[in-house]
Structure 1
Amino acid sequence: MTGLRQLQRERVREAISAAAVALFLERGFDEVPVTEIAAAAGVSKPTLFKYFPAKEDLVLHRIADHQGEAARVVRERAAGEAPLEALRRHFLDGLARHDPVTGLNDHPAVMAFHRMVFETPSLAARVFQYMSRDERALADALRDTMDDVTADLVAAQVLAAQRVLARRNWLLLAEGRPLREVEPEAVRAAERAFALLSVPAS
């Protein structure tokens, strides 16, 4: 029964998020009240807030499965593989898969979703909160291979680089350039970013 209840909760959570995102993309994040989202999803307002404590979480639920990803990549890397090399490989793999989190995905719904996140101040601010948690988790994972200060600095730089790369990829696609043209540029930019991160401290 526990498994069935959990499955039901996930279905309700997904239905609420889907209803919210559809309304946000249609009218704009700031133009849709939470009461309307709850009605569209067939739940009460208190129920909605049980699943999503803040309105911004209705949107960022879509990227929640990437929470802690960088830390997991470091902890689960192959024996003998350097942390930065594992992170570089993972990001390049994401580009090859056109993972939306890399910004290199030209599906109209993905493009519209990114535009909403990047251009809505409260959502952009919430993304930084997510990134702060990811940064702390990555720094903790890096402490096995470097001192505390270096781990903190590397974690901050890696996540900042990935954010810049993803936004750049989305902007190039938003300009109307075809994905097949943007992809090699995205790969070169990622290679350069991780090469810069790998420069030894003097």
Structure 2
Amino acid sequence: MSEPGLRERKKQRMYESVSEIAIRLFLEKGFDAVSVAEVAAAAEISKPTLFRYFPAKEDLVLHRIADHEDEAARVVAESEERPLIALRRHFLDGLERGDPVTGLSDHPQVLAFHRLLYGTPALVARAHGHLERQEAALAEVLGGDLDARLAAGQIIAVRRVLAMENWRRISAGERMAEVKGDAVVAAGRAFDALERALDGRTEAR
């Protein structure tokens, strides 16, 4: 894969910089208390320029997780293992690393971001689109037919519920070591259940 050009790198840096500034402001003052104009001023860009990069205010926050939209699809596409085996391994590896996307992280900044995301109704609503795009990308890799779409929906839902449970317990103050042990067991059970429910219908075509 070729390296991105200078223009693309500058564009990506702009995305990252404006998103981080916005998230900092939202964490300090609350999502609803910060206007798009205030974000633009803090980022030293015009409001129209900001909207060229981020069509909606919620996208300023969701940009941080945008690169996970095709994660499950990439795992399947790049693996020689059966899809569910590859996805199980990837999720368990994420738990071992404490990857924030698995919910198993007690880093203060990660917990604050998740509180912002899950505690703001507008962001929760906008995040549904993120989940739908995850499902669509995975379904395409699995074959694109109805069985593939049904399987993708179940797989993405299981990953989301597992991650939310981990985040919920850690944000409530439970110790990481205890949550991690339970999370590994829960993930194993969940993927076993997926194997039984899908009965081999997740073979990539």
> Which residue does 1:117 correspond to in 2?
117
Q: Distance in 1 between matches of 2:7 and 2:146?
A: 44
Aligned to 1:55: 57
DSSP-derived class of the 1:30 partner: coil
Q: Which residue of 1 aligns with 2:154?
A: 157
Cα RMSD of the aligned pairs, angstroms, is 1.5
Alignment of 1:16-55 (within 5 A): 16-55=18-57
Q: How does 1:64-75 map to 2 (within 5 A)?
A: 64-75=66-77
Question: Would the aligned equivalents of 2:166 and 2:183 in 1 still touch at CA under 8 Å?
Answer: yes
* Alignment CA distance shift 1:198-1:43 (3 Å): same
What amino acid is the match of 1:17? S
Which letter maps to 2:79? R
Q: Is the 8 A contact 2:95 2:184 kept in 1?
A: yes
Moved more, 91-100 or 9-18: 9-18
CA contact (8 A) 2:84 2:191 kept: yes
Aligned partner of 2:183 in structure 1 is 186
The match for 1:196 is: 193
1:197 is aligned with what amino acid?
A: L
Task: Identify the residue that residue 95 of structure 2 maps to in structure 1.
Answer: 95
**For residues 166 and 200 of structure 1, what CA distance do their matches in structure 2 show?**
20
Q: 1:166, CA displacement in angstroms?
A: 0.7
Structure 2 stretches lacking a partner, 5+ long = 200-205
In the TM superposition, residue 49 of structure 1 has moved relative to its aligned partner by: 0.7
Q: Render the CA deviation track for 1:30-52: whole Å, top value 9, x for unaligned.
A: 11100000111111101111111
Q: 1:20 to 1:9 in 2, by over 3 A?
A: same
Aligned to 1:174: 171
User: How far apart, in 1, do the equivalents of 2:49 and 2:17 lie?
Assistant: 12
Q: Normalising to structure 2: TM-score of the pair?
A: 0.91
With over 3 angstroms needed to count, the CA separation of the structure-2 counterparts of 1:199 and 1:47, relative to structure 1, is: same
The alignment's TM-score, normalised by the length of structure 1, stands at 0.92
Segment drifting more, 117-126 vs 8-17 = 8-17
- The number of aligned residues is 196
Cα deviation, 1:45-103, whole Å, max 9, x if unaligned, reads 0111111111111001101111111111111112xx21111111111111111111111
Overall identity of the aligned pairs, in %: 57
**Whole-angstrom CA distance in 1 between matches of 2:197 and 2:183:** 24
- Residues 194 and 12 (structure 1 numbering): CA distance in 2 closer, same or farther, change over 3 Å? same
Given residue 26 of structure 2, which amino acid in structure 1 is its aligned partner? Answer: F
Q: Flag structure 1 segments of 5+ consecutive residues without an equivalent.
A: none
Q: Which amino acid aligns with 2:84?
A: L
